Every structure is written in C-alpha cells, then in structure tokens.
Chain A
Amino acid sequence: MSAAAEDAVTEAPAVEAVPKRAMTLGTGTSLVILAALLVTPIFVKNFVVFQMTMVMIYGIAVLALNILTGGSGQFSLGQSAFYALGAYTSAVLMEVANVNYALTLPIAGLVAFGAGYLFGKPALRLSGIYLALATFALAVAMPQLLKLHFLEHWTGGVQGLTVMKPDAPFGLPIGQDKWLYYFTLAISLAIYIGSINLLRSRSGRAFMSIRDNEIAASAMGVDVAQYKTLAFGVSAGITGIAGGLSAIVVAFVAPDSYTINLAIALFLGMVVGGVGWLPGSFVGAAFIIFVPNIAESISKGLSGAVFGVLLFLVIFLVPHGARQVAMVAQHLLGKLTKKN
C-alpha cells in the first residue's frame, strides 16, 4: 500500500489528541489556586480587581472555544458573535425589561446556545479552514448587524447601551467591583467544573472520538452530525454567558466592542493557553488582557509588532502553550521531591 493511500485513511487530525487526565489540574493545585483567588481582592486596588474579573470572563469564553476545538476538533474564529449576542441579551433584558442581572445570564446562555446550534447545522458540512472562514465571516458581520436601524429601539444602534452596575446584595459591606469579582468567580467555577464533567461524560467522549478520527467514531456508532452541532451549541452557549457577564461588569455594550479582533483575541488565548487544556484557558485570557498593555509599555508606536513578536515566541518556544510549561514545571517538581 502506498504512503499516499495510507495518508487518506489516517489524515492528521487538525488538533493533537490530548489524554483526558491531562485536560485538568490536580485537586490540590486547584484548591490552592481557588484559595488565592478568594483572598486576593482584599489586598489589591479596585482597578486590579476589575482586570482580574475581566480575565475570568475572557477565560470562560476561551474555555468555551477550548471545548469546541480541544474537545470536538472544530474551529471557530467567530466566538465574538456569540459573545456579543450574550452581552446584548443581558443588556437589553436588564435595561428594557428590568430583569434581575443574575437571571439574564441563563437566558443569554440559552439564546447563544440556540444561535450556535443553528449556525452549527450548516457549518457541519465544513471542516478545517473552511469552517474557520465561515465563522470568520460571522464575526465580521456581527457589528454591522447590531447597528441595524430596525433594532435600534432595543440595541441603541451605534451608541450602544449603558447598563446599571449592580450593588452587592443583602447589604454586604463590599464595593461593586469586589462583589462582581466574587459573582464572576462563582460562575467561572461552576462553568469550569461543569465543563470538566461534560468532557468526562458520554458526550465528551463522543466529542473527543470525533476530534481524533471522525470515520472511526461514526463506525463505532457516534452520531457525528448530532455531536458536532451539540459541541457548537454548548460552546456558543458558554460564550454567551461570558458575554452576558461582561455586559454586567463593564456596564456598557456597543457594536464596536465585538469586532473580529475580539474573536481573534479569544482564539489566541486558546493557542497560548494550550489547546485542549482547560485551566490554560485562564492563562490564555490573562495573556490577551495583559500582554497588549506590556507591549504598549515597551514601545508605544510598535505595540502591535511587540505583541506579534511575543506571539511568535510562544509559537516557536512552547507550541503547546501554557500546558507545556505546566508539564515541564510538574516534571521538575517531581524530580526535586524525589531527590529529597
């Protein structure tokens, strides 16, 4: 049999397979990180608290993309569209219908899930670069759609909508920023644990079998079409919740906050964090929030170039992103403890 024919059968998957165990952190490490996250806001300024909240929100969105790409092996450059959908759903519900902010989140998630599921249907026929292109198109079109005249009554058109920032409930003596930090932390935690469970469930195994070899998966009885659309829907739904959270935390939505640049940023966050490694999503989110600032401080005029160079460095030095760094660290730690 020739090499070419063999290639046709086992075509290299777009995403490298990740063992299930390697997708998460150990329980001990997780608890230490959680404890650190719980106490940090007491010691830092409000602006830093706000930035950390944004890292978590972007982290949720990157996590959603990670479920889609790292889990089921599909691409998306259009996550900003679902993020925008979630943000607008929350904002409109809060400002026009006076719904409580916490209740808008599940609705935002459901709306984005529906949109993602519907978009996933035709996108089923596409794979690899074609899917990237179709979702790219969606992301570029979204701001234009949000500016449409006949929606202006609800969306506020180009101006966008200003949202009331909620106070802490039950008269808790903490400021708005800190309350929203804990609120976001709780939701991130729930989504993180939910995602891990999802990937370890029957559906999650179906996603991963599709990622690793579609033909083998369908031969084993996995309904490929169903699970691919489902992955798209779940990913969009979680992104929608992240978008809704961002509307509450930033207290403002406008079409131009959700351009293709946001989709690209989320995508980069996933690559930097390590594709298929869920904790990496939050590392990647920190990268996309802080590195542009660092780049700006190194050189104002060249911030884009510095950002690009840093990205190339990541690609060349640690192609598996934060996952690789974490593994090397774990390996070194293991060596040290053995010696003692």
Chain B
Amino acid sequence: MELFTNQVLAGVATGAIYACMALAVVMIYQAIDHLNFAQGEMAMFSTFISWQLMQWGIPYWWAFLLTLAISFAGGILIERLLFKPLAKAPVLTNVAGFIALFAIVNSVAGLIWDFTIKQYPTPFGSSPFLGSQLISTHQAGMIGVTLLMLVGLYLFFQFTRIGLAMRAAAALPESARLVGVNTSWMIALGWGMASAIGAVAGILIAPVVFLEPNMMGGVLVYGFAAAVLGGLSSPLGAVIGGFLVGVFENLAGTYIPGVGNELKLPIALALIITVLVFKPAGLFGRAIVKRV
C-alpha cells in the first residue's frame, strides 16, 4: 500500500508538468485548431531566457515575470510574422511550418547556450514537503502553481471582456467578427498566452529534468497525450488529463510486469490511440457535430 501511495503521489507530481504542457497545447488548439509541434521548444527557449536573466543577477521572481512578458511578446511576434500568413493554407503546410519552427528554435538555443546540461534553481527548495518523505516541496510547489494557473485562466475566460471575446472568436469566428471582435488579434493573443504558459511549464520542469536544448522532447509527447485524454477543447480536461497520464505512467511502470522504464513512453502513446479510438472528444471535451 505504501508503494502504491508513493507511486500515485510521484505520478501526480510529474503529472503537474504534463498538465502545464497540455494547457499550453490546448490554448493554441483553441485559437487556431492546430497542434503546435514546436510548443516544447518554445517553452525550452523561454526557460533559457529566464536562466540567462538570473545569470545577469536578476532575482528569481523578477526573472520569472520578465520571462513571462518576453514569452508573451515572442508568441505574438511568431504568430504575426510566420503563422498569420499561413492561416488560410492547408493543414499540411501549417504542420510543416511548426516543424521548421521547431528546428530553428532548437538550433538557435543550442548555438547561444550550447548543449551542456545546466542546473536550474527552484524557489520552493527540495526538502520533504510537510515532513512527508513522499514528495518534495518543489513538487508540491509545481502542483500548486499549475492549479493556480488553471484558476487564473478560468477567471480570465469567464469574467473578463477580453476572455469572452477570445472564446467567441474561437467558437464562431464569423459571428464574432460581426459583433466587432477583432478575431485576428484574438488568435495572436492566444499564441502569446500559450507561449507564456509554456514558459511557466519550462521553468517548473527545469529543476527536475535539468536545462538543455532537448529537455522538452519527451515532455511534449506526454503533454499531447494529456491534452487528448482530457479533450482538446477543455483547459480543465487538459490539466486533469495531465495528472491522470502522470499517475497512469507511474503505476504501469511499477505494476505491469515487463513495462519498467523502457516501455513507459509507448504506454503513453497507446493511451493516446486508445482514447482517440474510443472517445475522440476526450474525457471533458465537446464532441464536434458536423452538419451534413
């Protein structure tokens, strides 16, 4: 039983990472109906920016806020420069664009900060949380920040004018335009927010997986799995999906014989395919009904 609780708690802790990533994926999917394959690399780049700011002697929380602002602006810039012209292009072209962005960001980060592994500080410390041996204060902090972000997003989308406008632009672009919503800028805003959320995810993960240009590869796949499990149209679903994937991954690694560490990734992917086949809308997503 102790092993079980241990594994579940550890799963929830890693799940927090996937939840952040899934949240960023869902943000962009809501805005433009595409999965951003470069999301992980953008998050990695943001994390490097915050690391650089700290190297220049800026305190942690100021660097954190500054990074969020830079990532937000960067996300908008990428949308305006590269992806706005592709808005009407076929899906294939967009996917190729994301892959190109992936290659560029990864390579530039490698050139500026090289490929050696770097330590990244945590503001929460790494002592046992509340005297328990199960999770550390950093993991608890990670879960806390993820939930805070979710609440923040919920309040933003439910109770602010601009949040409402963004939802309108995503749901019915034509009608939104008719009532005076600038849908084009709402998409840019979605990119900015996704980029900032990704930055938070990167900063939270960096103390665990260490900082290097390829740190997000695996995490993004799990983020996709989480987003699909929870439903690509639901931010709450994405977060719950993230925790579920984390727990599932850990339990499968512990209890299913022969899985161990080497099959953890295929397990996550089998999960994606199973969910897609049996419940394509995910646990919390809206089923899309097409009119014929």
Of A24-32, A51-59, A93-101, A304-312, the one contacting chain B is: A304-312
* A-B contacts at CB below 8 angstroms, number: 132
The stretch among A8-16, A185-193, A199-207 that forms the contact with chain B is A8-16
Is the C-beta of A225 less than 8 angstroms from some C-beta in chain B?
Answer: no
Q: Is A267 an interface residue (CB 8 A)?
A: yes
Whole-angstrom CA separation of A42 from B14 in the bound complex: 58
B111–A315 CB distance below 8 A: no
Any A CB within 8 A of the CB of B102: yes
Q: Which of B132-140, B154-162, B185-193, B258-266 participates in binding chain A?
A: B258-266
Contacts of A137 in B (CB 8 A): 221, 224-225, 269-270, 272-273
**Chain B residues with CB under 8 A of A69:** 92
Asked whether any CB of chain B lies closer than 8 Å to the CB of A194, the reply is no
**Which B222-273 residues have a C-beta within 8 angstroms of A?**
224-225, 228, 262-263, 265-266, 269-270, 272-273
Binary flags per residue of B77-115, CB closer than 8 Å to A gives 1, else 0: 000001001100111110111011111101110110000
State the CA gap A125–B275 with chains docked (Å).
Answer: 11
Closest to B111 in A: A301
Chain A residues 227 to 283 lying within 8 A of chain B, measured CB to CB, are 264, 267-268, 270-271, 275
Contact partners of B97 in chain A: CB under 8 A: 311-312, 315
Contact (A16, B272) CB under 8 Å given A267-B96, A316-B85: no
By the criterion CB–CB under 8 Å, are A319 and B89 in contact?
A: yes
Provide the A123-167 mask, 1 if CB < 8 A to any CB of B, else 0: 001101110111011101100110110000000000000000000
Chain A residues with CB under 8 A of B262: 144, 147-148
User: In the assembled complex, how far is the CB of residue B18 from the closest CB belonging to chain A, in whole angstroms?
Assistant: 15
Judge whether B92 and A15 touch: CB under 8 Å.
yes
Q: Give the nearest-CB partner of A310 in chain B.
A: B100
- State the Cβ distance, B222 to closest chain A Cβ, in Å: 11
Main secondary structure of the interface of B (DSSP, over half): helix
Complex formed: what's the CA distance from A4 to B172 in Å?
Answer: 8
Check if B277 is an interface residue, CB within 8 A of chain A.
Answer: yes
Residues of chain A within 8 A (CB-CB) of B106 are 304
Contact B263 A144 (CB under 8 A): yes
Known contacts A134-B272, A147-B262; decide if A308 and B277 are in contact (CB<8 Å): no
Contact partner, A315, options B100, B175, B280, Cβ 8 Å: B100
The interface bits of chain B over 125-159 (1 if a CB of A lies within 8 angstroms of the residue's CB, else 0) are 00000000000000000000000000000000000
Contact A9 B280 (CB under 8 A): no
* A229 vs B247: C-alpha distance when bound (angstroms): 34
- Check B286 for interface membership: any CB of A closer than 8 A: no
- Chain A residues in 8 Å Cβ range of B110: 301, 304
**B 20-51 to A, binary, CB cutoff 8 A, 1 in contact else 0:** 00000000000001110000000000000000
Q: Give the size category of B's interface with A.
A: 35 or more
Interface assignment of A171: CB less than 8 Å from any CB of chain B? no
Interface status of A215 (Cβ within 8 A of chain B)? yes
The verdict on B276 contacting chain A, using a C-beta distance below 8 Å, is yes
Contacts of B280 in A (CB 8 A): 125-126, 130
**Minimum distance in angstroms from A81 CB to a CB of chain B:** 11
Contact A308 B91 (CB under 8 A): no
Q: Any chain A CB within 8 A of the CB of B1?
A: no
Does the CB pair B292–A9 fall under 8 Å? yes
Q: Does A122 interact with chain B (Cβ within 8 Å)? A: yes
Q: Are A308 and B104 in contact (CB under 8 A)?
A: yes
Note all chain B residues with C-beta closer than 8 A to A306: 107
Does B273 lie within 8 Å of A122, measured CB to CB? yes
When the two chains form their complex, are residues B290 and A129 in contact, meaning their CB atoms are under 8 A apart?
no
Q: Is the CB of B96 within 8 A of A268?
A: yes
| Cα distance A70–B90 in the bound complex, in angstroms | 12
- Kindly provide the distance from the CB of B40 to the nearest chain A CB, expressed in whole angstroms: 13
In this complex, the member of A126, A264, A275, A308 whose beta carbon has the largest number of chain B beta carbons within 10 angstroms is A308
Question: Could you tell me the distance in whole angstroms from the C-beta of A243 to the nearest C-beta in chain B?
Answer: 20
Contact A126 B108, CB 8 Å, known A141-B265, A144-B266? no
Among A122, A267, A270, A302, contact of B107 (Cβ-Cβ < 8 Å):
A302
* Alpha-carbon distance between A304 and B224 when the two chains are bound, in angstroms: 24
Please, which residues of chain B bring their CB within 8 A of the CB of A8? 290-292
Interface residues of A (CB under 8 A from B): 3-5, 8-9, 11, 14-16, 69, 75, 77, 122, 125-126, 128-130, 132-134, 136-138, 140-141, 144-145, 147-148, 215, 264, 267-268, 270-271, 275, 301-309, 311-312, 315-316, 319
What would 6 more interface pairs be, CB under 8 Å, given A305-B108, A308-B100, A311-B100?
Answer: A133-B228, A137-B270, A147-B262, A305-B104, A307-B103, A315-B93
Q: Footprint of A on B, CB under 8 Å?
A: 33-35, 82, 85-86, 89-93, 95-97, 99-104, 106-108, 110-111, 172, 174-175, 221, 224-225, 228, 262-263, 265-266, 269-270, 272-273, 276-277, 280, 290-292
Chain A to chain B contacts (Cβ below 8 Å), 6 pairs: A11-B290, A137-B270, A267-B99, A302-B107, A307-B107, A315-B96
